[in-house]
A and B are shown apart, each in its own frame.
Chain A
């Protein structure tokens, strides 16, 4: 059986679902993730995480980039966020 794409490890290289697109909603002044029959309004941090989900960076790489950017240890928050988005199948790991 193929590995469950909803379960991420530090080595997983998540990318946005093929059907999802990151955009900015000028009406609500919020980043937004759009996909068939759905939309998730994001905060800036959420958008920053999802922008790094390019299928090339691992979860570890994403954490390292954001640790560096925010000068703080964001590992727990970032992995929790990625897990939630993976459970909703809005990001996928190959």
Chain B
């Protein structure tokens, strides 16, 4: 069977970031600036990605605006025909940079918002950020970019989901993505501080449903429930190595941004191989492609073509074996791991994302 062509590339241009959110999707081991790919290396990767079939490019991080060559990279992406999204905190988006990005044809900007309550927002971000984000949103709106607001939900902001949605609308968003925290890396480390209660989840689901109706035609709302409260796992990007790939700041090519936590898995680097070779041949991609790696109950389960056994990174993080069924699935006895986690006592302290594990300066 020929390998599918990928449609989406997430380019983590840097791990550097002015924010310190305790649910960051970057790995616990953050890469330093010296390890990052050069401008020319990223450009080559974008060209190769397009030839391989990638249509959607996420210019992400860390904070991608910390790359001085971001405009140059975005221009190149556009010139090879990619639809690009700048995934940003909004910090560092000055008028001149925003105008330049518009000029070179960047189409879509996604700004993260932590909360509608400015105090709680800055507490979770671990940095002064609310005013910068408002100014950035205003620029994005004014210059006519497609504009998405992205919000990570957790115990401390879930009860304000309605105010958060209204705030996104006030900022002029075309879309708002509300996604409950996923517990890998930093999120897993902070799970007992982030995890919402079942009552919070139920209520937020109803509020989101109503808001979807209310804003229909004006603002598109997507709401991703926390998978721990679901009966079946999420289908990660259509299955491992099928449509999606991630390139880390140093050029390592990953099937998923969480894949580095699967110890024992080694990743090929675009400094040594072509992207095409890596997509087809890299062991990290081949290992969980298709369904021959599956154990029971996945192997004989009709849902294996629906959710592909769930998330490999979550299976590894919670069971120590990436080939196990995602323990969110209620069809496996491993589910008791998730059920036990849901009973965990709530802790109030965050461990913030820092390159070293220094405490947050106050």
Contacts and interface: CB of A to CB of B under 8 A. Distances in A.
Interface of A: 2, 4-6, 18-19, 21, 23, 25-28, 32, 34-39, 89, 92
B174 interface: yes
B67 to A, nearest CB: 21
Given A89-B220, A92-B217, A36 B108 contact: yes
A20 to B, nearest CB: 9
Given A37-B56, A39-B7, A27 B217 contact: no
> Which 3 pairs from chain A and chain B are nearest by CB?
A5-B217, A19-B146, A34-B83
A42 to B, nearest CB: 12
B17 interface: no
B81 A36 contact: no
Contacts, number: 54
B83 A39 contact: yes
Nearest to B56: A39
B55 A21 contact: no
Nearest to A19: B146
A38 B53 contact: no
A-side interface mostly: loop
A4 B81 CA distance: 33
Interface string B66-101: 000000000000000101010000000000000000
B148 interface: yes
A39 B50 CA distance: 14
Contacts of A89: 217, 220
A25 B85 contact: no
B235 to A, nearest CB: 15
B289 interface: no
Given A4-B216, A89-B220, A28 B56 contact: no
A26 B50 CA distance: 9
Given A39-B7, A39-B83, A6 B216 contact: yes
Contacts of A19: 107-108, 146, 174-175
